[in-house]
Structure 1
Amino acid sequence: MAKVREHGWVDTAVFGDDEGPGFSFTTGLWVNTGQPELIMFGMKREITHDVFWDLFREAKAGAPLPIGEPTNRAFENLFAYAFPVAKRFYPDHIGWSRWFYGSDEFPCLQIVWPDRSGIFPWEPGFDTSFVNDQIDLTEHGWKSAVTG
C-alpha cells in the first residue's frame, strides 16, 4: 500500500446509510508507530482526517492516547475518550486494516466525542439528537470502559 509507505498511514471513510452512521478509520499506525489504529464515527471526513493526522504525529513521537479516560488530545476544544474496539466488530468496520495486516492481530481504538454540552453518550443528559451518530464498539459498553 503506497500511501502507508509514503505517509505512514491512510484513512478510509465509509458513508453512513440506513444501517448506521458514517465513520473513518486508519491503517498503518500500528505498523509505523506501535500505537493502535483509530476509528471515529459521525464526524465530517475533513475533521476526522485532521484528528488522525495529529494523533499519528503524537504516536510517532511516542505519546499514546490515554485509554478510558478523558483527553483533549483528539480535539482542541473538547474532551474525547479512546476505547479498545472489540475484535468481533473488526469484520464490519475495519476491513481494509484487516486486509493490510492479514489478520485481526492488531489493536484499534474508538474515539468517542461528546455532545455540544460536553456530555458523553453514556452520561445522563446526553443530547438525544446525537444518539445514532456513534456506535459502541467496545466489548462491554462505553460506560464500563471508563476508568477516569
Structure 2
Amino acid sequence: MTKDSDLATALDAPKSALDADEQRFVEQIRDKGWFHTGVTADDEGPGFSYTTGFWVNQGFPEILVFALRQETAHAVLQGIYDDIAAGNPPPVGAVTDNIFKNAPALLLPIAKSHYADYLGWNRWFYGNDSFPCLQLFWPDKAGLLPGQPGADEELHALQPVLIESADDTH
C-alpha cells in the first residue's frame, strides 16, 4: 500500500473551521503522524482503542483493538506505527509474532457496516467511510486467538469480531 498524499482529510480544513477538540486532534496527527482514540468499557461492550492517521500518513489501514488498557493499547499502536514508518508493516490476514512480544497477533479487515458504531473520529477526519481499518486480535493466556480451537470463550466477549465476512455486502 502506498501513501495517498492527495487524500482530502481534516488536515486540509482551515483552523478557523475546527473547534478546540478538532484542532487538538488534527495537530497531534500533524505532529506525531497519528492520534489514539480510547473508548472506555460500558454496559454496551468492552473498551477499545483506534488509530487515526495511519492511512493518510503511511498508506496503511487504521487499526482498532478491543479490551487492552489504554496505556498498553497506545504503546502497541505506536510500535506498529513505528514499524510501518520504518518500512516493516505487519502482515494482514496472517498470524504474526511481530506485534506483541512473545505472543501471536492477527490483523483482519473490519466490515464498513461497523464503522458508524466504532470509528466516529475517523469518519469525521476522512469525511466518509472510504478508509480501510483493521481489527487487531490478541491471544488468551494459552496463546490462542479468538476463533481458534480451544481459545478461551471469555476472549470472544472481550473482542467482538467486526471483520468482513462472505455475507458482508458493504
State the TM-score, normalizing by the size of structure 1.
Answer: 0.91
Q: How many residue pairs align between the two structures? A: 141
Which structure is larger by alpha-carbon Rg, 1 or 2?
A: 2
RMSD value, Cα? 1.2
Cα deviations by residue, 1:39-79 (Å, 9 ceiling, x for unpaired):
00011111110011111011112222211111112101201
> What runs of 5+ residues in structure 2 fail to find an aligned partner?
1-25
Moved more, 54-63 or 81-90: 54-63
Q: 1:21 aligns with which of 46, 52, 57?
A: 46
1:51 aligns with 2:76: yes
Q: Which has the higher contact order (CA 8 A, sep 6+)?
A: 1
Question: What's the % identity of the aligned pairs?
Answer: 45
Q: Which runs of at least 4 in structure 1 moved beyond 2 Å after TM superposition?
A: 128-131
2:156 aligned with 1:136: no
Instruction: State the one-letter code of the partner of 2:105.
Output: A
Mind listing any 5+ residue stretches in structure 1 that lack a counterpart?
Answer: none
TM-score by length of 2: 0.80
Classify the secondary structure of the residue corresponding to 1:81: strand
Q: Assess if the C-alpha contact under 8 Å between 2:135 and 2:162 holds in 1.
A: yes
Three-state SS of the structure 1 residue aligned to 2:78 is: helix
- The question of whether the paired residues in 1 share the 8 Å contact of 2:109 and 2:135 is answered with yes
Q: CA offset at residue 21 of structure 1?
A: 0.7
Q: Distance in 2 between matches of 1:108 and 1:63?
A: 18
Aligned to 1:74: 99
1:39 aligns with 2:64: yes
